[in-house]
Structure 1
């Protein structure tokens, strides 16, 4: 009996982990619009210290030992044909300018099982544009340079991406005026209230101005709907602006040299999928088993999967459940159900000079000193245990 062929569409944070978990089950093919792994995590670190961020969150696929058995296809998924069980992919040809990978040959990747892990578009740091390495370089360096040259930075949003951006920018450039604006009485509404108490204290110690009760009037282009295809987006520069910010909550308009829009208005990268697979917001409808209703051989996991209001299978070991249920599906065994957590948890501000704080679901903060954060969390736990081994960067 031949080995099953499994196509994982999307090799971001969740897709890479899913492909690694499936590598021994069959012939795994990973489709990625990026030439290398580019994480969507730790926006603040990426803006303030891109060299440190690149070390741990931008990794050549060949460095992952767990992907040694996975065939990587650099291209954009453009259609899913469930009748013929193929994923149509436009390959990168490297001919276009400005870091785009161009429009290459269209091929069809057959599958026995397909995993949808194409994630979401979120500002200038998470988008499905088909790119080469130069495009990734620009995505990382240009926002950093823009913020480095600013005297004042306004950050809009109340989630972890906004708060980490405020903390990291304020620590990296203590002479800058950094202000954080969020709509509620407190930020982090999906975390335990104790988390905000501790994070607020840290932000204040860094000199970040906190402005609760500010709901911004969104500029055109921010927070739109479902994206069309996996390779049809231009650079999302409207999420990093210098325009005056107006408030629907009645405050006077705000100006800053740079405005970072980190408001959590995401668009699922699902324009390549049949409409009947999607909910009214464009996310992939899934059963509690992470299987797409009506398609026994199609699974979805990560930010693109409508598992619960917070789409928490992007964390909480969702990739392991997807791999376990695919194995059960191929064996004709019962599938298990995903149990979403009630609250968000984990790191909020990212690694600062005095270390990293990881919050538990009940709101307890566990401080990891800076040396241990780098060596134990990143090198040992993340690279070796979670990713199954990451080779050293070639000198």
Structure 2
């Protein structure tokens, strides 16, 4: 019988293992407790975290128990992995606010009912540690020479690595040890950029407890060119609908490159792999149907079926001439803005962040208002522009907004 290991391999999740054959046998024969950590550096998770949550969901569906660990303690230090500069220091209040927001997002995605999953915050054990006792108990098992060869530190050594950040690996390793002691947690999962930190935890448990412990990493979400996915003109693709609207979220997946469709269907949906391969093999105009399915399924997972349907309807209204225009992203402006230039209106509606950017868009021929291309940045917006109750703005080929006067 196929195990979750086979599912994760087939869908392209797995990248590195600590003990591959032992892990394969363990997942086939036992139901284990595992964990994934999420540092609360913002008040929302983004699409980069989504792949880890999908991995967690596959494990849970196979009967394994997840621990979602929110890093309220480790966020006080900041993970140097993948960073060329030191992270911005967050206040305790900022971290607590971020933890609260992230917990709500996780609860929509992972089933925490009846002990099926555990939600923990490492602030509960890290913030009250006695430093001398911690260094004596934990630090003695870490070789500085070995730590300095870790990928997470290498790129920082030339520019400077603070001792504060150097502690991060010890703290993450200690998290695994603590979860092992509390819940019998035997495996850590995470993004491939966490490999060095994950190895530290596995090694620490094996040294301190003389017990087996394991780690597996998942591939980072990259496109066919090897670049990280999830970046938009407005920044990260957030899972919070207030930061990235369900429509914008839907449109991101609707517009990905043809070469990335099969990979995204495999990693970010639960569609059976036979169907994933069929959809991924479509060519030319037909691949657009696969993109619509991808966009709908991913949006449904994050925002629910109702919001996914609204986003789909809005896209059809704009691009196919049908559907419900009421679901198109809408910005409000005060009536006093009428009589101002189009540049002022775009900035007031927060469709563009600055007047300079608005002027550049117009100069490059990228702005259309009510299906008319705008060539004059000083054009005055009159009441006539809102004769149907709203003004339709298109930036480039695919970014639409309605502006209404309130």
Rg larger in 1 or in 2? 2
Q: Which has the higher helix share?
A: 2
Q: Which has the higher strand share?
A: 1
Q: Of the two structures, which has the highest relative contact order with CA contacts closer than 8 Å and spacing of 6 or more?
A: 1
Q: Same fold (TM over 0.5)?
A: no
